Structure formats: structure tokens, C-alpha cells
Chain A
């Protein structure tokens, strides 16, 4: 039972850190003024146009596609797989499990492999392409390692340890409803949980901020209408 308590404390702390950290960052991004109009043109001349531009950026990584096909291939594979895997994880948090979550379970099963393949491709570039090697810091390796380890430990729970996922779900639901249940004391489960806790802490203080950041990038989200509408903010509003 001590294990359950220790992990519960870490989970609560990490969740708090993630939520507060993200909220703080998003507030800062939203609050910081953009004194000048700097959309990278050609840019949409209406708000609706910007929504469409961003939809393409977020769902199919449009700019990246026209920029570099390898990064796009591995990067997009990794992110879509990650989204599927995350969606699949919702079954641990819902009772009864939502219909669409049940529907995607079969795809989700393969997504983990796609995620690993994508990560492996991105990681390989950091060694093989001299330009990318040059710009890589230790932290860039560590984040890939962390995600890779999360995926691998997750798969190990499924294929190697045969822990009963009903017990895992009971523990997670217990966390959500503040009704602590015993944590299955399996090495892979503990490893997987520890790594996820680490990811939650790293997220709001690392380059993983690209996920919220993208939605605030002035070159992408500004409407191209400086002659029509007078824009002022920050020092240009003084």
C-alpha cells in the first residue's frame, strides 16, 4: 500500500505542476503583446482563413510537409500515433468507456508501434544528418528517450508482464475519485508510471511547449489586413 500512496502523491503533484505550468505559460503567451503585424505572407485576410490555415498546420503539418518529407513522415507518424495512443488511454479514465474510445481500440493497438517507428526515425536523424546533429542538445535526446521508454514500457505491460489491466484501471479511477486502490506491483507498470510522471513535469518547462505555442505564433495566426484594420499593441499602443 505504501507504493500506492507514494505514486499517488507523485501523480497528484505532477498533475498540478503540469496544469499550473501550462496555464501559466498559456496566460503569458496570450498576454504578451504583438506590437506589429508580422504574418508570414501570403497569409489569410480573414479570421476564418486563419482558422483554416491553422487546422492544416495542426492536423497535417502542412508547412513541414513542403519543407522536409522525412521529418514530416516520421514526425507526423509519431504525433498521430501519440494522439491515438492517448485517446486509447481514455478507457482507463472513463466508466463506462465512451463509445468512440471503444471504437478506436483496435487501431490504438498498432499505434504504439507506429509511434516507436516515428520516434526512431526522428532520433536517427539526430545522428545521421550532420546539420541536425549540430543543432541537437542533450535535452533533445533525452526527450526522445523518455517518449521511447514510455512507449516501450507500455508495450511491455501488455506483451511481457500480463498484469491485469482491470487492476490498473481500478488504481487510476481511484486516483480520480480520491478513493485510493492498491497499485499492481509490477516492474513495468511502475516504470511506465514513473516515466509518465517525468513527462508531465518536463512538459511545461521544455520544448514540448510547442503544442500550445503553435497557436500563439504571430507569423501563423495573424490576419493579413494591416491596411484595412489599424493594429496596435504593446509599445505601438502607447
Chain B
């Protein structure tokens, strides 16, 4: 038996998994429309490579990865592209983002797929590109592009590959059911990853012991493969990447580093399945297993849903009663976020749709005072002091927050879960993190602005000196001329008149006619408007996937462009009157 390490903290919420496990993976009828956000993953938004009106086949690439950390998006069914525009997407803030809309033709016709059943012949790079091309991103909920994760693995020697089948969140059974029904394909996927990473010494599948069927299925499939199935006691949040690594190896990922720095790669079991599909069958990631559960739906089970299926379609098919529903959650009850509308699409990271009744998840009581009972500190898997963080968050004491390692908080919610005073601790941490990041970027932008200002000062000074030297040179030259050619003095009168005339002429040309001015201003205005539009586009991209840093920068450039447009328009009206 492999040794298991116990993580500090953790909680034991009722697991509520049985209700969605009464039947196997189901299929939904094809929805009328599919909506595919360009950002369903961590990293840059995918770049659209189709246009509105185009007919697409199932599996056809719609948008390609735009950066080293990004993922391609494919058509989950055949049909027409009917829109490429902003749509409401599943996001904690209820925002909208650029999406591609497909109106399905109902034929569900596949594009030709090129699989690589003989993957052992392929080089790691080829395999990596296959996975990247298939748009595989972490299916456990984080959505980190898998190719990028494996890249890190190929740059450094990997001795441990960890497959995360923990699924510690209550209610969710997507991994469980996938393993029960398709363990063989998951193992194939793991073997592909292992081959790609140069056969790591240790390959572990971590799974909580509340899934005996899945464990049995894995054990059966792993025989003779060298892959080890390690089950451990159920405790939330064992499925956090850092927690799982500690449970299985006793090693901690140092703060600010990645598992790859320890020679480890950790992938979700669903992701391993998607990788098998991508490599052996040549099928891109266009569907996933999503759990539909909660008392507000008559039927609780798992579905193999097409990415882009509207949540409302899923609910309608399962006799959803909105009057019963206390809130609609994407993800689990611990880390999932509430949806304000059911029109948003399911994406690659949608593990679960939870529609609880009012008795199941009642509206919270108002928060009481923190009695410093320390239950939160006992529950914290990262050994933080949540009550102190809460105190400092309320006081906006950023320094103390960072001294208490706020940024090591994984937002698992264990602290809020146990808090007897019902304090929404995680909410405080999230907003404090946001504030700190914003303050940092503001500082950085201020520094950039100052630098720019100083640079401009220097440039102006330089220009001044240049002008000064030129003037000096001219003066010297004229003096020289006076000395060398006394004859010019004769015609000095006429020449002076000439000069004056020439100067007047120059002045008049500079003083262009109103028509000319207007035309010029119009041109400037057009250019400024164009720049504004571009800047807005970039801002949009930055808000969907860029860092806070990029966002502030883009925001600033939009502001600048706007000002320019306004100024020009103003001048234009002045001129035309």
C-alpha cells in the first residue's frame, strides 16, 4: 500500500452524490442553437477563423488558439454560423463575452477525423500539437489548456504523473460516472500522456474512497499497466491540485510555483479521456459529461452534453421547476458560482448544474459577529487564519493581508462553510484579492505614466537643445556670409523684401482655407474613431481573458482614444461654424 498523507483542515459536507448516479450517462436531444464563448479556458481568447453565414461541420475548427496559453474551439454539431457577437456567458459576474452562435441543421454531420491510433510512433511534439489542435482544456473546472500544461512537462523531467479523479465537491458525479462507464478509454488517455511525457516513473490516479465502483473499474483496467490507483478518505477539498499532490506524495508545491517545478504533472481524469479522444479518434473536444442535479429538477443524472448547449435546454429536458429553485449554480455547492440567467451556454469547464430547492440550500442567514472561534482556521486546507484575513479584509489592510498569505487562499470555501456566524468569508477574500491586484496595476501604470512623462521631458529638452544649436549654426552661417560676400549687402534691401514676402506666403499656406482645415479634421476624426474602435476591441479581449494589468492598460488607451475623438469633433464644429 502506498502511503497517504493527511492534509490539514478540510470539512465533510454531505456528499449528495447518490441521486445523480441512479442512471448512467444520458444524451440530450440536439438543441436548436449552440453558443460557443471564445474563452472557455484560462488564457487568451481563441481567434475566430469562420465567418457569419458559413456552413460548418461537426468537429470543424471555429477558432484557433491565439497564444501559447489558449485553446481552439470546434463546432459541436453541424449547421450555420448565425452570429459572432457578445452574449451572456457563465461567469461569476454575469458578464457577456464574444461568442460564436451555431444554428444546428439537425444532421449532426461529422467532418472527417484523422486519428492516431498508433500514437507510440508519434513524437511528443506531434502529440502535443494534436492535443492543442483538439482544444483540450482541463475539464475538472479550472480549464487550463492541457497542451500548455504538458509543455511545461516536456521542458522539465517529469517523474510523477497524477490523475485527479478525486471529485471532492458534493453533488458532482461527472468523473465518477465517466470512470464507471469508460475507464478503459481513460487509461488509454493516461498512457498517451505518459508516452508524451517520456514515461514518468510513477503514475497515480487519486480518488476518494466514496466511489467504490469507479475504483473497482480503474483497478481492473490498470492491471499490468504500472498505473497505481490510490484511494483515500473523503474530505473536502482533497481534489484541489495542491492538496491532492500532498495527499499522494507528501510534497507541497511551493507558493508561487507550479507542480512542474517539482517534476509533476497533474491532470483531471475527464481530461485524460478527452486526450484519448483527441489522439486516437481524432475527435476534438466538443462534448463533456455534466451532472444535472438538485431537487428543483425531476431527473438527476449525468449527460454527455455538447459544449455550447444552453443551460435552459438542459433544464427543460429534465422537468425543471423554477419556483422550487433557490438558486442556479454552475459547479458544486462549495466552489460553484450562481448563474443569474439560464440562457448561458455550458462550456468546457461546466462540471455540474445544480438546481437546489429552498430546503436543500436555503437562503443564508445574515452574518453575525465573528466570535473568533477558530473553526475556520481548523477547516482551512492551506493553514491560513481565515478570521484574521477577514478582520484585515474589512479594514482594507493590504499589507497584513499579504503577510497572512491571502494569495495562498484557494477559495475552497471550507472556512465559510463552518463559520457559525455565517460570514461570507470567501467573498471578502475575493474582493480583497481584486483590490490588491488593482492597486498593484494602478501603481504599475502610474510608474509607466511617470516614465513616459519623464521620457517626454527629456525628449523636449533634447529638441530644445537641437533647435538652439541649429539657430546658433544659422546665426554663425549668416555672419559668415556677411563677411565673405559683401556684395549681398547691396541687394540687401530687395532681398529683405523678398524674405518678408516669402514669410507671408508661408504663413498663408499654413493658415489653410477653412475647407482644407475641415477636410483635414474630418480625416483626423475618422482615424481617431477607428483607433477608438480598435482599442475597445482590445479592451474587450483583455476583460475576457487578459490579466488585470492588460485590462487597465487597454482601459487607459480607450479613454485616450475617446478624448481624441471628442477633441477633434469639437474642433470640427468650431471650424465649420
Chains A and B belong together in one complex: no
Binding site for A on B (CB under 8 A): none
Interface set of A (CB-CB < 8 Å, partner B): none
